Structure 1
Amino acid sequence: MNNNRSAKIASIIEQRRPLKEKIGVVKENINTLASNLRNLAECRDRLMAQVDDRNVAVRLKEINFLTIQQQIAEELAALTKLEARFSRDTLNIGVVGLMGQGKSTLLQSLSGLTDDEIPARKGGACTAVRSIICHQEGQTYAEVTIHSEESFLEEVISPYYKELNLGSTPTSLDAFARPLPPLLSGNATKNSMYDHLQRDYHQNLQQYRHLLNSGLPRKLPPIPKEEIPKYIVQQRNGLGDLISFNHLAVQQVEIFCPFKNSEVGKIALVDVPGLGDTRLGDENLMLETLGEEVDLVIFVRRPDALRYGWEKKDTDLYKSAAEALPDLASRSFMVLNLVTGDDNFVGCKHHKDTIKDKHINVVQCTIANCSKPESANEVLDLVLNYLVDNITDLDKQYASYCQKRLIEIQKVVDAELNKARTAFGQDDLDDYQAIEELFSKLFGNDKKGWWKDVAFSLQKLRSELWLTRQSPDNNLQAGIDTAIAACQKGAGILLSDSPIEEINERISVSSPFRAYADYQDELRVLLSRNFQSLDEGLKQSIENVKSQVSEVLTQQGRLGMLTNESGSNFFKSISDLVPERLGKLKQGFKIIADFELSYRGLILHRIRQHLDGLTNITATSGQSRQVDDQQNPTLLVSSSTSAEEILEALKIDYDIAVNRIKPALEEFLCEPSQAAYAMVEEFVDNVIRQEDISEEWKNFLRPLRGQIWPDEFGKPEQERQQRKAWLDLINHVANTSKSDLFQFSN
């Protein structure tokens, strides 16, 4: 039977995996919805400050985004818990009870652990941290998770500061190490809480601070059985002062050990510190544990032998647990602890008979001696058999419960979106028609309006450039003159104070062949470098013409209302504004924005062909000679060639190169003008003469008409744009709030 039960538990765990994956997808969808709702809420807040219509402002204010966002946050937290529940490798049974009721004793009897690992000694609370005890064959060991500095301050220290009104929670351990704020007022309970904060956590900080690192909580290497107590047990001396401190920094301990009933299957027992003392955070820890870590709950209650009966603290504990597990009645058992020697059987019987009167609803209430392993394991068998038979249905019910809440939220979102759609009132068709008619009139056609003005002005500019397309470019002419002057002024060795001495020195360290060739290279580099400045003039010529075109579109086309740029930057800016769907128009602006003339593309190759006279060719004979276009050498170099001969030859070579380059370049003085004309004609053809291009212009200008014609469309267009942006956001939210995106459970 037990083997079959173990197999069923393993199967149940495996069947949970697909549901966990579905929950993950739904969580991602809901996070997207939450983000879209935040955007819509921010837009609403902006519009409330902008709209002039008071009725619109009132309707916008009535849309309840805050409640929806809070509900979504709550459901995301619930889904996270559900996802964690279905991600586990074990079925978990939580053991819950007030301090001193026998909870730890029951855990000892079931797990085989002792007071060293699960303290159950008489006196005050001994178990100091949340423990998860997992059934696993082999040696007993523990995995200890230590708080980070941040989680310690948030989860452990912050509850004290809030409950005792001590001011802002310390943001660092250094801040917490300073003297505690005084407790201004409080009853005996609060005084005891303050004493607990001060005597345990504050004055002993240096004893456990070394364990708290900044960042995220960290898991220590596996801890052997004999080392477990120092992380989970709080030990005190006769005066009540702590004498063990590591547990103060512990967030959670997982203990792996073989249970006495070795055939229980893949289960874990989850223990939390006993409730009822003055240490804060235990109830929150219990709620978090039940919500995320527990599939079924065992409540432990030890009735008194003389004064027995259910008390308010019992019903409060049950209500708190029900907050974390909404179907608690189907997921909980009550164990009434029959204590040997206390003779509390009558009290146990009374509690069992009256449990329903107190609305503590559980699957079964049973009496058992928690200190006896055989009795404790009878309880565990009872619980496990129920768990195996019912957990699948319970999971479905729990998932269905979460699913229903999500569908309710989706309905609420739809209701608020419907209110949002009508916040501006119904569209006035007549007003919209009037706006469209005015836009069409202003845009015009070939005979009048914006289209006629732009088309005519661009064609006029094209005609003007056509007339000057054969004119020399002033920028290029100036650049050539400057470059030639630079060539004559900076001729290197030719203008040296002592050229003969320099050439002789060069010959002495190499040879006449090498000296002549090296000087040719240097002069060639000087010449070429002087003409690189032509690049700036070529670019400026094209930029000047682009500025002429942009001025037409800025003035007659009113596109200056869309950008402050000019020239190339103007066309790039407008191109960026044109939607991709308006491909013809966008391409036209991109062509002119990217068009340029460059020195390397237009001039360089024309200069280089006239530098051959300064290029050395090594003959097969080993002699070096220089050749011109007709292969007539300026100088035949030999080992006896003098410095004077080399200098004279270099002057001839240099003068020939300069005198050939200048007229060669002047033959191309008209090319920048021709290129500029071609650029403009290409642009005009693309943005004016293409079929249906006027419709693309219309579609481009329509959403921008309030900027283009502010006097005519300013306020009406602004309101229309506001309404359109608002409705677009609403539709975006609606697309992410469809019910099928919330479905993870059938």
Structure 2
Amino acid sequence: MSNISTAIDALLQARLRQLPEVQNESERWHTLGEHLAELDDALADLRAHTTMDAELVTSLTLPQLTEIQLAVGQAADSFRVIASRFTRTTVNIGVSGAARMGKSTLLQSVSGLDDNQIPTGHGIPVTAVRSRIFHSPTVRRAELEMHSPESFLAAVISPLHAALDLSPAPRTVAEFRDWVYPEVLPDTRHRVLLTRLRELQSALMSYEPLLTGGVKTVPLEEVRPFVAYPTHEEISKAGERVGRAYAAVREARIECAFPHEHVARIGIVDLPGLGEVVADAERRHVAGLRNEVDAVLVVKRSSDTSSFFDETDTAGLGLLDEVRGFVRSTGEFAYLVHNTDPDKLHLAENLRGDLLRNVNGGEPDRFFTVFETDVRDPERVGREVLGPLLKRMAEGLPVMDAEVLAGTRTQASSVRDRTRLQLTDLRRALDQVARRAGVPEEVNEAKAAQLRSTIARRLRVLVGELAAEAHGSVLDQGFGEAVEKAYEDVLGWIQDGFGKGADTWKEEALTCMITEGHAAAFAGPEFSRIRVEISRRFAALDDFFTARLTAAWDRTAALLAAECGALFKDEGSRQEDSASGSDDATATATPSARSGRDVLAELAELFASSSQPCPGLASAVNSLLDVRLEYRTLLYPRVRPDLAPLNLQVTHPDTGEQMQQVAVPLTAEGAEHLHELFNSLAEQAAFRIQRSLSQEAAVPAVVIHALVEQFEDTLIRSGTSVMEFRRFVRSYRNDLWPAEFKGIDEANSRFARVLRVTQDISKALEEGQR
């Protein structure tokens, strides 16, 4: 791989490394646009409320909101386009130039294609469709993106109608077919445009079936009529009915093997139409190319009639500035190709001098680099144009990428500042609404104190009940039953030959002892298996613990739901209550279809996402939910010593020395004795565990009591509790006490929605600036 190819691969990889950041920027601006649209709806909803007087309505109108929404959408789109630029797997070079300058010949020399794919001609424009040409060592084909009927009318026919002042434009292809156009127009340019329009109408039958809006694949040998105007010979032979398949094509993608080195990651974009007299052809052909081409070659040929850089050429460079975008240096983006004719050296000298004086201010390559070559010679084009250009691009593209990204960010920063200014104005208006139409703050504080006190009393009763259950004289019958059930399960497993059947177990023991020559080979692993399995079976107590924890959540949720109005109803129920004016604040018991855990999780979300967030209250609820009662963590450490005898090597009870407790003959009688020993030791261990667990019957209740007591203490008495209950009441007052607050407070949720959306917008703006 050459140095140029290596450098191009490196810059494409550098682009990919920047892609995640650019995509995140695009997503942030897209999200900001969604928030602004919601703000528009929320403000309209608030303004429409019956309690709002005219002055308040006026203050809640943001005249620039629509304009800012458009600017935010453009910012999101700009970052999306940059992401597309950084995603490309090729460096794209645009080739431009007026008709008869040698542009198509240069494209042939670069790509290796011929007149059947990139036609050339003398005296008339020949290229009708913008084409993208990519190097491929194996694929040789053309993919044609076809117009739909709607896009054909919008992109081809409507511009011609507009240029000719023919209003309105046809709305359907059938209308276009039947449209009656004037025979002639006085203005010369208009006559040419009218001729093009009539030609398209006359040839409609040849391309109407192609207006599918899809992609059509054709061999390169057959692509010419889809990308080029018909030749003089074709027009002379067919007249007005000559085929014009190109009219149905939006764009062509061509793949073929380029006859040059350094081209594996190169794409060539053919830009037809510069200098043509077709309606707005130049702009239509460069539309959408910003960030799609990395450099442009502008071809200029020295001839008897074109040995100077004229107004058309200058206008073409100006048009390419739109494609350049935020790239600062025009000369790094656009390059001039002086197409020379070896047989007319005097004409080349004339154009050479004009380019030096009038384009580059008397200094070679001062503003624009000029590549001089004979575009008919592929070898010269590769040596004199393509090689030097790719070297310049390998060095300059990282700088241009940085300029594009910096320019887009600067533009977006301006939009960000304007959005912040609008938010500042809105906050002032919202403060005015709150002062003039809101419920007095002392009322909010009183209701918050009432809610906090009522919940505190209910929680205190629940904590008392749980304390009695934890420290009462009557042990938890359910726990005893759960322990007994686990114990019986373990005994049944032991009596079943430790899950294998007694005869099978003894047969396996005898086989292993005889094979290995001692009983320890079987006894050691089997002690471990039995010890683990007994412990695992007692872990079935987890079902009991889960049921007790779930019951505690249910009891806690029920008392909170009883005080929190319609907050725990589904959205449909809330809307029905709002419409009917229901004031039954006690009809809020936890819905039977929902668990206490679900209700508590919803309450935590309400605390966290209210218009004035309550993180301390949310944390208290989440901490209660983030609890697991499990046998392995709660009780297993206490019964672990009861499993100690189930080991091959144990401690002698009298001497304290280590001893091996298995010694049996290597016979069937020895295996029988071994089975009896294991049975006895396992049953004793199970009994000890059952007895130890029975002594811990109060532990689950004690733990649950402690959990709920801690929850109550945190929810009611943390340092931020009073403040956050006030915030909670401000955010959900209407839902908590729907019958007590009418008038503007009936629209509190509308006001809160506006506040929430403004907070979302502020957050999005801050994230975008970091």
TM-based fold match above 0.5 = yes
Give unpaired runs (5+ residues) of structure 2: 458-561, 567-573, 607-711, 717-721
Q: CA shift at 1:412, angstroms? A: 2.2
In structure 2, the residue matched to 1:68 is: 68
Matches within 5 A, 1:97-496: 97-138=97-138, 140-180=140-180, 187-200=187-200, 202-213=201-212, 216-220=213-217, 223-236=218-231, 237-238=235-236, 241=240, 243-280=242-279, 282-288=281-287, 290-305=289-304, 308-326=307-325, 327=327, 328-342=330-344, 343-345=346-348, 346-356=350-360, 362-377=367-382, 378-425=384-431, 428=435, 432-436=440-444
Q: CA shift at 1:387, angstroms? A: 0.9
Select the residue among 736, 750, 756 that pairs with 1:728. Answer: 756
Q: CA shift at 1:702, angstroms? A: 6.7
Give unpaired runs (5+ residues) of structure 1: 452-549, 586-689
CA distance change for structure 1 residues 95 and 714 in 2, over 3 Å: closer, same or farther?
same
Greater Rg by CA? 1
CA distance change for structure 1 residues 396 and 114 in 2, over 3 Å: closer, same or farther?
same
In structure 2, the residue matched to 1:36 is: 35
Q: CA shift at 1:5, angstroms? A: 1.5
CA distance change for structure 1 residues 291 and 697 in 2, over 3 Å: closer, same or farther?
closer
Q: Percent identity?
A: 24
| Inter-partner Cα distance in structure 2 for 1:704 and 1:184 | 73
Partner letter of residue 209 of structure 1?
A: E
Q: CA shift at 1:266, angstroms? A: 1.8
Contact persistence 1:315–1:358 (CA under 8 A): no
| Inter-partner Cα distance in structure 1 for 2:289 and 2:583 | 68
Moved more, 334-343 or 397-406: 334-343
CA distance change for structure 1 residues 417 and 261 in 2, over 3 Å: closer, same or farther?
same
Matches within 5 A, 1:70-89: 70-89=70-89
Contact persistence 2:374–2:381 (CA under 8 A): yes
Q: CA shift at 1:108, angstroms? A: 1.7
Matches within 5 A, 1:502-581: 562=578, 564=580
Contact persistence 1:128–1:273 (CA under 8 A): yes
Contact persistence 1:131–1:254 (CA under 8 A): yes
| Inter-partner Cα distance in structure 2 for 1:75 and 1:381 | 36
| Inter-partner Cα distance in structure 2 for 1:442 and 1:150 | 64
In structure 1, the residue matched to 2:21 is: 22
Q: CA shift at 1:284, angstroms? A: 3.1
SS at match of 1:117: coil
Contact persistence 1:234–1:244 (CA under 8 A): no
CA distance change for structure 1 residues 140 and 443 in 2, over 3 Å: closer, same or farther?
closer
Encode CA deviations 1:377-417: one digit per residue, 9 max, x unaligned: 21111101101122122222222222222233222222221
Contact persistence 1:56–1:425 (CA under 8 A): no
SS at match of 1:270: strand
**When the two structures are superposed, what TM-score results if normalisation uses the length of structure 1?**
0.61
In structure 1, the residue matched to 2:513 is: none
**When the two structures are superposed, what TM-score results if normalisation uses the length of structure 2?**
0.59
CA distance change for structure 1 residues 710 and 205 in 2, over 3 Å: closer, same or farther?
same
Q: CA shift at 1:569, angstroms? A: 14
CA distance change for structure 1 residues 573 and 210 in 2, over 3 Å: closer, same or farther?
farther
| Inter-partner Cα distance in structure 2 for 1:400 and 1:697 | 46
| Inter-partner Cα distance in structure 1 for 2:372 and 2:187 | 37
Moved more, 202-211 or 47-56: 47-56
Contact persistence 1:10–1:265 (CA under 8 A): no
Contact persistence 1:29–1:742 (CA under 8 A): no
Contact persistence 1:297–1:331 (CA under 8 A): yes
- RMSD over equivalenced CA pairs, Å: 4.5
Q: CA shift at 1:169, angstroms? A: 4.7
Contact persistence 1:564–1:570 (CA under 8 A): no
Q: CA shift at 1:154, angstroms? A: 3.0
CA distance change for structure 1 residues 366 and 52 in 2, over 3 Å: closer, same or farther?
same
Encode CA deviations 1:235-294: one digit per residue, 9 max, x unaligned: 142397463322221222222223232343321211022322232353234323531421
| Inter-partner Cα distance in structure 2 for 1:567 and 1:408 | 49
SS at match of 1:234: coil
SS at match of 2:2: helix
Contact persistence 1:3–1:263 (CA under 8 A): yes
In structure 1, the residue matched to 2:554 is: none
CA distance change for structure 1 residues 742 and 722 in 2, over 3 Å: closer, same or farther?
same
SS at match of 2:18: helix
Matches within 5 A, 1:667-746: 713-718=741-746, 722-739=750-767, 741=768
CA distance change for structure 1 residues 399 and 704 in 2, over 3 Å: closer, same or farther?
closer
Q: CA shift at 1:296, angstroms? A: 0.8
Contact persistence 1:196–1:278 (CA under 8 A): no
CA distance change for structure 1 residues 356 and 290 in 2, over 3 Å: closer, same or farther?
farther
SS at match of 2:242: coil
Q: How many residues end up aligned between the 2 structures?
A: 524
